[in-house]
Amino acid sequence: MILEDEQPAAERMAELLQLYDKSIEITAVFDSVKDVVLWLKSHPQPDLIFLDIQVADGLCFDIFSQVRVQSPVIFTTAYQEYAIKAFKVNSVDYLLKPIDFSELKAAMEKFSRLFQAKIDIPFLRDEIIQSVKNMLDKPPKNRFIIKVGEHLRSVSADDILLFSSFDKTTNVCTSENRTFIIDYSLDHLIEIIDNEMFFRINRKNIINRNAIFDIIIYSKSRLKIKLKLPGQEPMIVSRDKVNDFKNWLGN
């Protein structure tokens, strides 16, 4: 069974599962916590459940408080290991979006080993669920400390137009078109900044909505973005992020 509220992501998950093993039967795909709860209360539990952590009507953890989940679970999420490392020992595995086939394959192979060996997979404990809920409910970080020579400076997130990763360092580019090194990885940043304001367009760049000057259709499935930063080369939105990017723009 799959819980995923973005249809393209749900379809991709189904395709990857069939690519991994054509004999896999997907018994149900839902886009809400409510529908999953209703289904689990009236159907035999599946061999394996994929749960997206955040869906339109809440967090998937709400399922556990309404019905006993006896199936092993693989979580799918945009949040990195920093946020959900506890799941590694409290579920089969977790997969980061966009789902990569090699990672799905590894998770399924892990599930197969546990299933065949009849090893009980521990259920998520209430305190783990609550701790992750609390983390996800934290307000976004709105100021960052940067180093300017021998001085430290506090910069508002509103003044940051671009976070970029280059040569194992993370840089911020401000509205003044000045670049500074910051002590955060992009993976960590995307968990703590305002996702209404910022979007990760590819593995190397997170942009501020207010930094966009122009959006160009680059091909049938890709977009090119010009930023309001003199001298900045246009950036490409990754193919697997285009739909999410369009939805983000429309919010």
With contact defined as beta carbons under 8 Å apart, do 80 and 184 qualify?
A: no
Q: Tens of pLDDT along 233-246?
A: 999 998 888 888 98
Start-end of H helices in the chain:
7-20, 33-42, 62-66, 81-84, 101-116, 126-136, 186-192, 242-250
**Backbone φ and ψ of 134, nearest 5°:** -60, -40
Average pLDDT over residues 66-91: 68
Do both 104 and 188 map to the same domain? Answer: no
Rounded to whole angstroms, how far apart are CA atoms 251 and 242?
Answer: 15
Do both 118 and 193 map to the same domain? Answer: no
Token pair recorded at residue 245: 């990017």
With contact defined as beta carbons under 8 Å apart, do 54 and 132 qualify?
A: no
Query: Scanning the structure block, which residue is given the tokens 């911020």?
Result: 172
User: Does pLDDT of 90 surpass 70?
Assistant: no
User: Does pLDDT of 86 surpass 50?
Assistant: no
225: domain CATH number is 2.40.50.1020
Banded pLDDT at 87 (limits 50, 70, 90): low
| Cis check: omega of the bond before 46, within 30 degrees of 0 | no
Chain centroid to CA 69: how far? Answer: 23
Average pLDDT over residues 136-151: 80
More confident residue, 120 or 230: 230
User: Does pLDDT of 88 surpass 60?
Assistant: no
% of the chain beyond a pLDDT of 90: 43
Do both 184 and 125 map to the same domain? Answer: no
Do both 23 and 124 map to the same domain? Answer: yes
Do both 100 and 149 map to the same domain? Answer: no
Q: Tens of pLDDT along 15-30?
A: 999 999 999 999 999 9
Average pLDDT over residues 114-125: 62
Do both 175 and 105 map to the same domain? Answer: no
Do both 132 and 10 map to the same domain? Answer: yes
- Domain span at residue 207 reads 143-250
% of the chain beyond a pLDDT of 70: 85
Average pLDDT over residues 216-241: 89
Average pLDDT over residues 221-249: 89
pLDDT score at 210 = 94
Banded pLDDT at 148 (limits 50, 70, 90): confident
With contact defined as beta carbons under 8 Å apart, do 250 and 243 qualify?
A: no
Choose among 84, 14, 104, 2: nearest CA to 48: 2
For the chain, the first-to-last Cα distance in angstroms comes to 29
The residue among 86, 105, 136 that closes a domain is 136
More confident residue, 166 or 25: 25
User: At residue 224, what is the residue type?
Assistant: K
Do both 180 and 222 map to the same domain? Answer: yes
**Overall number of domains in the chain:** 2
Other Cβ atoms within 10 Å of 180 Cβ, number: 17
Banded pLDDT at 82 (limits 50, 70, 90): very low
Do both 152 and 192 map to the same domain? Answer: yes
Do both 165 and 101 map to the same domain? Answer: no
Do both 38 and 121 map to the same domain? Answer: yes
The residue among 116, 136, 156 that closes a domain is 136
pLDDT score at 126 = 60
124: domain CATH number is 3.40.50.2300
The residue among 88, 118, 136 that closes a domain is 136
Do both 74 and 106 map to the same domain? Answer: yes
